[in-house]
Structure 1
Amino acid sequence: MAKRMPASIALPGPEPSQRRDWETLKTLLPYLLEWKWRVLFALACLVTAKVANVTVPLVFKGIIDGFTLPREQALLLVPLGLLAAYGALRFSTALFTELREIIFAKVTQRAQRTIALQVFDHLHALSLRFHLERQTGGLTRDIERGTRAVGSLISYTIYSILPTLLEIGLVLTILVIRYDVSFAVITFVTLAVYVTFTILVTNWRTKIRREANEHDSAANVRAIDSLINYETVKYFNNEGFEARRYDEQLQKWEAAQIRTQVSLSYLNLGQAVIIAVAVTLMMWRAAVGVVDGSMTVGDIVLVNAFLIQLYMPLNHLGILYREIRQSLTDIERLFGLLVQHREVQDAPDARPLERGPCAVSFEGVGFAYEPKRRILADVGFDIPAGRSLAVVGHSGSGKSTLARLLYRFYDISAGGIRINGSDIRSLTQASLRAAIGIVPQDTVLFNDTIFYNIQYGRPTAARDEVIEAARAAHLHEFIERLPDGYETKVGERGLKLSGGEKQRVAIARALLKNPPILIFDEATSALDSKTEKAIQGELDQVAHGHTTLIIAHRLSTVMNADEILVLDGGRIVERGRHRDLLERGGYYAQMWALQLQEKGIESEAEAVTAA
């Protein structure tokens, strides 16, 4: 019965706070319909199991009535077949219940897997703005709880609520047919009171549960954020401060959890009172029937067995309703993530970028992260295929924003960005980003091996290609000196490596990808002078034949660029080659003189050589 997992199932649009419970249940239906034959077979097992379960007390009544007769008649009226039927029915109840679970297990787990994958894909599809503003600890906790709640909601709703209602219906039908109507009335009134009480109290408890979840997520945010910034905490000796901040949230969470547990006890006590009153009334009515001769001893046993069978589903129904409400509360945030707006989306008619050399053009580009904070204004330049262009300027001038816009992490506010004459908004994001490789200023690595992190540039690359990329980045000898070589774990975010080592891994990764467009965003900023000179030569060689955008603060790294742009306040204030810009005596010349002054005699010699 293997079946392909649905690639995409449409999810509803309303905000989580506006969602209704039926909308949540309706959301799950497409996942169940993917396995409709399994669902139908499991439903058949469900009905069979409940019919067998309700039939057991009827057979047991016949056995008891038989034993209340004289011994000679009892032996005749209680044949071995009746006892065998009793045992068979008992076994059938367990058999079909477990068979139902076996058949339906794949439905639940596949739905859980599909939704988890959808959330994962959707988060990767959201804009950089969302990920810069997110709180990682709270996000991971919301995904964990929400994904788990999806499985709980499906199981509880489809295969726990339905069998409970079916069993109650069967019992009520038998009581109405076989006994006085008072038995059915007592049972029905008990059900109504029990369900009403459970719903009212559980809805009240849901608010408390939601508050507890809020504090739980907030505490997790503080814990994860503190651990991620472990070194900063140590630098400023603020372990105690972080512990107090964490404990503030834990205290709120503790108080909310205590209220949750106390309210649960109130609910359990109320349910117990309702059931106890109902049991007393039913047994009293049955005892009266036995005394006046309208009922046998077997009837009172039957009524008692039905009461036990009703009590368990009723008690289970209360637990199920509480769990469903709690699952709905947990799943709210998960659905909230799924309806997050994708700020950057492929156009309906988007086409892939054709492979081959790429020419890049910025045409009057304007951009602002926020309406009141302009970053770029009327920026225009061309990078012919196979040529290089460098962008320099003071911090905050908008240099790194150019790379983010070329990657289309954001959509521009004005103008256009074109590759081979095509506006990048008309291209698929996947093909666009496949054509670009970057060495970022701040390199973040996966908590895996050095080999994995280099190979991430092209996951299908062979080991020899990975090693060759490491050699080109002057990283191979360092790796060979490590005890575990290429299998050395780099730690979370690559913290086990120095800044220069991480940057060389990033360079090797970009070299391995070997795309037509390369971006070097302060690619050698974390390297020492000797290594920088060696790798700069490699980068110049690699950039040959590639369309290259170099973003730099050190002007010595851009001297050989075909064109240099100077950004100031989001505008291009100068452009030209290194020698021409120096002769003009403008912004670039001032920056060059300042950096020479900072570096001293060594850079003077470098300046003479360049001149």
Structure 2
Amino acid sequence: MASAPLTRPSDVSVAAAASKPWVPNHTTGVILDVVHYAYPIILLFFFLLSFTYRSIRSASNASHNIAPVTQRGPGGKPLPRTDPSRNIPKEKLEGDIPPSQKHLFEWLSVGAALTFIGNVINVITHALYSRKEQWWCGQPAVIYLVGSFFVYCLFLISLLDSSPSPNGSHLATWICAVVLEIILLAASLSLYTHEHRDSHVKGPREGPLRFRMTEWEITEVVIDLVRILLLLILIGFYRIFVSGPKAQRKKDEQKPSETTSLLAAQEHAENGSAHGNGNGYGSAVPLGGKHAHTEGAPAGWSRPVGVPSRSWWEYIKGYHVFFPYLWPSKDRRLQMIVIMCFIIVVIQRGVNLWVPYQVGVITNELSGQSGRHDGGEIRMPWGPICFYIFLRFIQGNNGVLGAVRSTLWIPISQYSYRELSVAAFEHVHNLSLDFHLGKKTGEVLSALGKGSSINTFLEQVTFQVVPMLVDLCVAIGYFLIAYDAYYALVISVVTFWYIYLTIRMAQWRAEIRRTMVNADREEDAVKNDSMVSYETVKYFNAEAYEFNRYRSAVKKFQDAEYHVLFSLNLMNVTQNMVFMLGLMITCFIAAHQVTAGKSTVGQFVTLLTYMAQLQSPLNFFGTFYRMIQSAMINSERMLELFKEKPTVVDKPDAGTLPSCEGDIRFNEVHFSYDNRKPALQGLDFHCAPGTTTAFVGESGGGKSTVFRLLFRFYNVISGSIQVDGHDVEELTIDSLRRHIGVVPQDTVLFNETLMYNLKYANPDATDEQVYEACRAASIHDKIMGFPDQYQTKVGERGLRLSGGEKQRVAIARTILKNPRIIMLDEATAALDTETEQHIQEALTTLAQGRTMLVIAHRLSTITRADQILVLHEGKVAERGTHEELLERRGRYANMWRKQIRAQRAADEARVLKDKADRLRRETKDGIGLDDDDSPPESEDEKAKKASGSGQRSEGEQDDGERQGEHEQRDDDSTSSGSAIK
């Protein structure tokens, strides 16, 4: 390629042309330089701004259909809202396109980025060809080419990574790029087509005079035109492949369709706003019910199996639920401490900037380049050295400023941990029964222990991430001002690629680390479950199985840990390689300027010091990203715990129940734990004050469901439950439960003293009131026989007490609570006859003047109940007194006959066993055989005889029972135990 002539082809001589006055197009040149400098910065800023806007809008748009519910947690703080959108496909701002069309956008973006490579090749070729003329494009053009290529690579990466892609942020950036490219093209043509000076190593327009466009300038303009054409094609394809189909979809959605269900919108609205805890046991789901929820709710509080697909804004919105518990809004002293800590952080940023500069000052003093020495004599820089030592003394987290800041932050950290941990504990207690039925205790306890992870996460963001980003921005600005744009460009590119590669590799490691964390949790869960089930393990001689199970869990954790550590080392090598490449380039540039006399040795040392100091925040970013990721994964379970919402809450206008007479009425109550099988179907009954109502029937008939609904563990689907004429859903849960006492089948006690457990029902009760309640429950004398009496520790879950003792303690607690309504859930099940008699005596005392609801499998305990309800498949199959139900010869009479036969067989077997034991003792004592013709019966013969006596023909038994049923009814009832009166 030949060089352009230096003079215009005319009769005028070169000397005459050179002597002509020439006025450069100064304004056009300034515009060109400014746009060259600003092009990559404007494009990058515009892309980040549009990307941020789109992320926020997408996250908001994904949950726009969720009706906000104002609920308050402990201390009046707002409870986090469960996000139903996690079960609803997210609505996207732009629809995703087929892979073939997406590849088209990617290849066009690659072409646009390669045009800058073409410009670079053109510049390098021109510089080599015109090296004798010392041609160089100038710093503005270098910044434009390198910076723009870097930004376009960023666009390409976002196309590959983001979904959907391309999206609105790409379109906005392409439009902005076209505008800037047109400005550059117009300025270049305006400059090149007129008389102008060529570029030179001294400056952009310090070279020879040109009168027309050179071949190099024509090549530059052609490449610019190709780039503009590619950008316009990208914009056009976006309108065709993305915007057009999106507009058509919206248009189609607005058209009425004959195939669209009229109930679809209503169902979507109901489903979108009625999520519970996410357990299948959690909410009732009848058709048309008033408490419907989505059918696709996740089952149980399950561990996440993969990294959730969330945008950064969704993560921020998710974690912002913790902020009310972390900011000391009511403590002015702590707020002032926070402000002081931030001031110290700002001072630390200035110190970090000053230390490298001070090193350069000392170097110039010692090298004689400071300009302050006399006659070449180098003085000892006492002052600069002392000041440098002082700066290093207060610099960093280990310096004075860092120590002061850390000390001041201690009460803030303690406040945050205390508030968050207590709030999480209270929140779990406020969740409904459906959550606790589906939870895994080990995982909930692990999640509750992650308050420190949240605290660490926020502290690191506040005092590590933000200062690190400030340090990086200050470093770029410092290199731009103190050195030149080349350094700022190198630092910007190195910083970006360092952070980008760190994030990408950390995202790759996220799944690996999540696997390790889940394995660690599983190991803890196995260990916890095995320790809690200690007796069960011993019952089945399962020690070897438990050892192998735990060993397998540990091995699984260690396998995941190996992959985590290997990926960590690989990421460290990659980070170091990127930074060393940037350090090499900056050192070459600085060394060249020192040898050319453009900078001093002190500036070179300052550069090295600042680069070494810059490596710290970059290295820390990798470490920090791992710590943040670890903290986020560890705290994710607490976040999910906070997002769990109680399915049963007080209505905003709920009233209180100050007093209670005990009148209970179920009005056509329908309920289902899920949408597959109803638990109650039109249940209707009334309990007058002071009466006893018993519920009997086969398992699954709905007996326990009645208790759970009355105690407001769940809400009914349809119908109503009234207490003293008030709908329970119109009352506060606390005021209702204060008037209800429960004696469960399996009483669970705290691992505290008996006095603590007894006073748990009424902390204000006196010791004498506790003694009276225990006497009424027939347990006082037993407690006084213990070595520590009422200060006796009951053990884990009360295991040091027998079943009957725990039941009587439960009855005493209920007496201390003094409720008007008492629910007995098979309180005498699985107890021996003597213990059952004591329990029945205590229950008779407890029932005086109170409304009793009893679930009983032993029908002999409810023969004197005021009414007995036989439940079958959620309905009242029979109702009446004991005598009335026997006369009907229905389900209840059949259950009664079966229990009487079983009781008679058991009594006869017991008599035979006693006789056999007596004979065995007599033989052992040498009394000998009786004078009968035959020896005593063997044990097998006795058992067969007992079995035979209990297996008479059913017809004979039925006849006998029918003959004496009315005469023996009271005797049978009395002989089987005392009834609840």
Q: Is residue 2:645 matched to residue 1:354?
A: no
* CA RMSD, 1 decimal: 3.1
Partner of 1:97: 402
Distance in 2 (CA, whole Å) between partners of 1:12 and 1:592 is 51
Partner of 2:259: none
Partner of 1:131: 436
What is the SS of the residue equivalent to 1:432? helix
Distance in 2 (CA, whole Å) between partners of 1:10 and 1:71 is 73
Change (3 A) 1:241 1:582: same
Change (3 A) 1:91 1:608: closer
Partner of 1:596: 900
- AA aligned to 1:89 is L
Tell me whether 554-563 or 25-34 shows the greater mean CA deviation: 25-34
What is the SS of the residue equivalent to 1:411? coil
Partner of 1:24: 315
The alpha carbon displacement at 1:445 in A equals 2.3
Q: Deviations over 1:17-57 (max 9, x none)?
A: 35433333341555565556554432221111221232123
Q: Select which of 779, 783, 786 maps to 1:475.
A: 779
The alpha carbon displacement at 1:73 in A equals 8.3
Partner of 1:46: 345
The two structures have a TM-score, normalised by structure 1, of 0.89
Q: Is the 8 A contact 2:327 2:416 kept in 1?
A: no
Partner of 1:607: 973
Change (3 A) 1:507 1:596: same
Partner of 2:116: none
The alpha carbon displacement at 1:83 in A equals 4.3
Partner of 1:333: 637
Counting only pairs closer than 5 Å after superposition, residues 357-368 of structure 1 correspond to structure 2 as 357-368=661-672
Q: Deviations over 1:36-89 (max 9, x none)?
A: 655443222111122123212323333343334479988866344x44433443
Q: Deviations over 1:502-533 (max 9, x none)?
A: 22222222222111211111122244322322
- AA aligned to 1:607 is S
Distance in 1 (CA, whole Å) between partners of 2:766 and 2:609 is 69
Q: Is residue 2:741 matched to residue 1:437?
A: yes
- AA aligned to 2:973 is A
Structure 1 alignment gaps of length 5 or more: none
The alpha carbon displacement at 1:586 in A equals 4.1
Distance in 2 (CA, whole Å) between partners of 1:441 and 1:73 is 99
Distance in 2 (CA, whole Å) between partners of 1:392 and 1:165 is 69
- AA aligned to 1:597 is R
Q: Select which of 835, 844, 860 maps to 1:531.
A: 835
Change (3 A) 1:232 1:29: closer
The alpha carbon displacement at 1:6 in A equals 5.9
Counting only pairs closer than 5 Å after superposition, residues 188-227 of structure 1 correspond to structure 2 as 188-227=492-531
Q: Select which of 95, 114, 121 maps to 2:419.
A: 114
Q: Is the 8 A contact 2:711 2:737 kept in 1?
A: yes
Structure 2 alignment gaps of length 5 or more: 1-73, 87-303, 330-334, 909-968
The alpha carbon displacement at 1:544 in A equals 1.0
Q: Is the 8 A contact 1:364 1:380 kept in 2?
A: yes
What is the SS of the residue equivalent to 1:361? strand
Partner of 2:200: none
Q: Is the 8 A contact 1:507 1:523 kept in 2?
A: no
Q: Is the 8 A contact 2:660 2:724 kept in 1?
A: no
Distance in 2 (CA, whole Å) between partners of 1:56 and 1:463 is 71
- AA aligned to 1:225 is D
Alignment length, in residue pairs?
605
Change (3 A) 1:553 1:87: same
Q: Is the 8 A contact 1:21 1:328 kept in 2?
A: no
What is the SS of the residue equivalent to 1:515? coil
Q: Deviations over 1:369-423 (max 9, x none)?
A: 2333333333222222222222233433322222111111122233221001111
Q: Is the 8 A contact 1:362 1:381 kept in 2?
A: yes
The alpha carbon displacement at 1:157 in A equals 1.5
The two structures have a TM-score, normalised by structure 2, of 0.57
- AA aligned to 1:66 is E
Change (3 A) 1:282 1:245: same
Q: Select which of 348, 373, 387 maps to 1:85.
A: 387
Distance in 2 (CA, whole Å) between partners of 1:260 and 1:460 is 55
Distance in 2 (CA, whole Å) between partners of 1:73 and 1:388 is 111
Q: Is residue 2:683 matched to residue 1:379?
A: yes
What is the SS of the residue equivalent to 2:673? strand
- AA aligned to 1:328 is M
Q: Select which of 382, 388, 391 maps to 2:692.
A: 388
Q: Select which of 469, 474, 480 maps to 1:176.
A: 480
Distance in 2 (CA, whole Å) between partners of 1:452 and 1:545 is 27
Q: Is the 8 A contact 2:366 2:379 kept in 1?
A: no
Q: Is residue 2:746 matched to residue 1:447?
A: no
Distance in 1 (CA, whole Å) between partners of 2:903 and 2:764 is 43
Change (3 A) 1:182 1:586: closer
Q: Is the 8 A contact 1:472 1:508 kept in 2?
A: yes
- AA aligned to 1:85 is F
Distance in 2 (CA, whole Å) between partners of 1:109 and 1:21 is 28
Q: Is the 8 A contact 2:744 2:825 kept in 1?
A: yes
Distance in 1 (CA, whole Å) between partners of 2:657 and 2:800 is 38
- AA aligned to 2:313 is W
Distance in 1 (CA, whole Å) between partners of 2:619 and 2:789 is 60
- AA aligned to 2:428 is L
Distance in 2 (CA, whole Å) between partners of 1:197 and 1:396 is 58
Partner of 2:76: 7
What is the SS of the residue equivalent to 2:429? helix
Q: Is the 8 A contact 1:358 1:517 kept in 2?
A: yes
Distance in 1 (CA, whole Å) between partners of 2:357 and 2:789 is 73
Q: Select which of 654, 661, 674 maps to 1:370.
A: 674
Q: Is the 8 A contact 1:437 1:519 kept in 2?
A: yes
What is the SS of the residue equivalent to 1:241? helix
The alpha carbon displacement at 1:13 in A equals 4.0
Q: Select which of 300, 311, 317 maps to 2:615.
A: 311
- AA aligned to 2:312 is D
Distance in 2 (CA, whole Å) between partners of 1:224 and 1:576 is 48
- AA aligned to 1:25 is I
Q: Is the 8 A contact 1:6 1:114 kept in 2?
A: no
Structure 1 segments of 4 or more deviating over 6 A?
A: 70-75, 601-604
What is the SS of the residue equivalent to 1:370? coil
Change (3 A) 1:594 1:182: same
What is the SS of the residue equivalent to 1:375? strand
Change (3 A) 1:554 1:72: farther
The alpha carbon displacement at 1:10 in A equals 4.7
Q: Is the 8 A contact 1:68 1:74 kept in 2?
A: no
Counting only pairs closer than 5 Å after superposition, residues 393-472 of structure 1 correspond to structure 2 as 393-472=697-776
Q: Is the 8 A contact 1:67 1:74 kept in 2?
A: no
- AA aligned to 1:320 is F
Tell me whether 71-80 or 370-379 shows the greater mean CA deviation: 71-80
The alpha carbon displacement at 1:269 in A equals 1.1
Q: Which has the larger radius of gyration?
A: 2
Distance in 1 (CA, whole Å) between partners of 2:343 and 2:891 is 80
What is the SS of the residue equivalent to 1:560? coil
Distance in 2 (CA, whole Å) between partners of 1:495 and 1:74 is 90
Distance in 2 (CA, whole Å) between partners of 1:365 and 1:575 is 17
Q: Is the 8 A contact 2:82 2:644 kept in 1?
A: no
Distance in 2 (CA, whole Å) between partners of 1:574 and 1:404 is 21
Tell me whether 398-407 or 596-605 shows the greater mean CA deviation: 596-605
Distance in 2 (CA, whole Å) between partners of 1:563 and 1:29 is 54
Percentage of matched positions with identical amino acids: 37
Q: Deviations over 1:272-323 (max 9, x none)?
A: 2222333344444444444444444433332222122111111111111222
Partner of 1:277: 581
Distance in 2 (CA, whole Å) between partners of 1:559 and 1:605 is 12
The alpha carbon displacement at 1:592 in A equals 3.5
